[in-house]
Amino acid sequence: MRQRELLTLLNNYFVKLFDTTFHSMKIAFPRNNNLEWLRLIFATQVALCHSASHLKFEIPWIISYFPGVPAFFFVSGFLIYASYLNAPGRRYFENRFLRIYPALVLVTLGGAAVVLVDHGWHDLMNNFSTYALWIIAQTTLGQAYNPGLFRDVGIGVINGSLWTITTEILFYLCIPFIVWLERNFRYTVLVCIVLSFSLYAVGPLVWSKPIYREKTFYDILGLTPIVWGWMFGLGIVAVKHFEYLKRYFQYLPLAVIPITVMIVTGAGHYGFLFGSSGNRLGLLYFVNYISLVLWFAFVVRPVRLPFDLSYGVYIWHAPVINLLLVLGFLNVPFSLLLTFSIAAISWFCLEKPFLKLKRQSLKAVGNEA
């Protein structure tokens, strides 16, 4: 009898967690917005900075002060939280799978092809197990895995930018649990933000010694939302309180002033508050940065983007850079042209057809997520 009661309790728990959480709650924001443009800009920023760094090309210094990855995390928190509340349960996981995995599988095969261009096709047969393990890692949660066999190719990492995909997927998995916790404790997101930012701020000081191949424990945590969760969390806060925040959207351009001050003065010893360059932005800089993101997304007159190349540009730019290094053709404009061309093929031939299989999306209230 006790076993039956226990099984019933467990069943009810998982049903509530994955199928009925917040069914009555919907989150809406303007359907006409510039979020798709923003995601494309973020992806282009990452691709341009990486191309310039590895292909030896000078770009305007100001570009590094508006990094794409932290902004991606904020927008993901905004969109994915709304996506779950508007299409919870199995539909949520199906939609996330259809958005991420088809293109991820394709770019993984593309990365393997870059290695074979450098090593020769016989290398696949001689090291089949290594290739197989790498492909499995790239298409699950091991995107940071890079076997020694590949380290003589290009920059030494076939697709290092995919570490953010690991973080994103883990965040997707956390959302149902976060929403469930909110039913019992309304300040769940706030507590998660505080804990995540505390670790983000002190982690590099506490865990400074390498534990594996020059990587610290903090570096490993940096592959998860534990470190970056506060950025996602602020996106959740923004969408939850959108109706309140939009009253002040007209003042958001004023964020340029503190951003300029922080860029000019530098981070000093308070990088966790004022850091203005790279992915490790300071809290105050990040808040002002996302203020501009919200302004551009919802105040600037929206211009519809008939395609979404942002994901393709982001995941393909690193293999393209490596291919050009293997071929000895160091040309940034061509790198971007090739990246955008492959991203377009990925969108029209793969991503868009798979997205049509989604049973419900945010198109009713906002953007595809």
- For residue 10, being part of any structural domain is answered with no
In degrees, to the nearest 5, what angle opens at C-alpha 7 toward C-alphas 2 and 13? 125
Question: Per the structure, how many domains does the chain have?
Answer: 1
The pLDDT of residue 269 is 64
- For residue 21, being part of any structural domain is answered with no
* Residue-number span of the structural domain to which 304 is assigned: 46-358
The pLDDT of residue 201 is 95
Mean predicted confidence (pLDDT) in 238-264? 95
Helix, strand, coil distribution of the chain in percent, nearest 5 = 70, 0, 25
The pLDDT of residue 318 is 98
- For residue 20, being part of any structural domain is answered with no
What's the pTM?
A: 0.90
- For residue 35, being part of any structural domain is answered with no
Q: pLDDT per residue over 69-86, tens digit each?
A: 999 999 999 999 999 998
70 token code pair: 């932290």
Q: pLDDT per residue over 170-198, tens digit each?
A: 999 999 999 999 999 999 999 999 999 99
- For residue 124, being part of any structural domain is answered with yes
Mean pLDDT rounded to a whole number for the chain: 90
Q: pLDDT per residue over 267-325, tens digit each?
A: 666 788 999 988 999 999 999 999 999 999 999 999 999 999 999 999 999 999 999 99
- For residue 75, being part of any structural domain is answered with yes
- For residue 209, being part of any structural domain is answered with yes
Cβ-defined contacts of 297-305 (< 8 Å, 24+): 297/33, 297/34, 297/35, 297/38, 298/29, 298/30, 298/33, 298/34, 298/246, 298/249, 299/249, 299/250, 299/252, 300/34, 302/30, 302/32, 302/33, 302/34, 303/34, 303/37, 304/32, 305/36, 305/37, 305/40
The pLDDT of residue 62 is 94
315 token code pair: 């995941």
- For residue 27, being part of any structural domain is answered with no
- Spatial separation of the C-alpha atoms in residues 43 and 67, rounded to whole Å: 9
